[in-house]
Amino acid sequence: MVKAKSTKVTKAEWKGYHNVNLSREQNELFTSEYLPVKLLWSDIDILTNNGYKFSVVWDDYNSGVTASLYACSKKMEWAGYALTAWAGDCETATKLLLFKHYVACEEIWSPVKPERAGSDVKWG
């Protein structure tokens, strides 16, 4: 019987969080256009197939859910960074995370100083 060779996959070294705060315009766009759309598992599947780790966890401090993407693939310039989103429920947090990744960041996590959202925003 031939033994399969195992190759050690090296993951990106942890570097920190990529902080993205929505502008008022982005917040309005998320609320009106993105929030009502049905969330599909294929949305997450695409990201995981492209080298991201997706997770959701209950956040006791904020009494809500934090969804996050971690750039695992060393091929990415932003490898080792995590993008997060917080909301009162898992679905909204995940939709917000996808909005931040695809719309606010346009799939590129470059160092930017986004406009801060107002205090009336229900998520982050």
Could you report the per-residue pLDDT of 7-66, keeping only the tens digit for each? 555 678 888 899 899 999 999 999 999 999 999 999 999 999 999 999 999 999 889 999
Q: Model confidence over 86-102: pLDDT tens digits?
A: 999 999 999 999 999 99
pLDDT score, position 42: 95
Return the higher-pLDDT residue of 104 and 115: 104
Cβ pair 79, 53 in contact under 8 A: no
103-115 burial, b for 16+ CB within 10 Å, e for fewer?
Answer: ebbeeebeeeeee
Task: Give this prediction's pTM.
Answer: 0.80
The answer to whether the CB of 113 falls within 8 A of the CB of 50 is no
pLDDT band at 114 (very low <50, low <70, confident <90, very high): very low
Cα angle 97, 28, 90 (rounded to 5 degrees) comes to 30
114 vs 50 pLDDT, higher one: 50
Could you give the 3-state DSSP secondary structure of residue 14?
coil
- According to the model, what pLDDT value does residue 112 have? 44
Map out the domains of the chain as residue ranges: 16-104
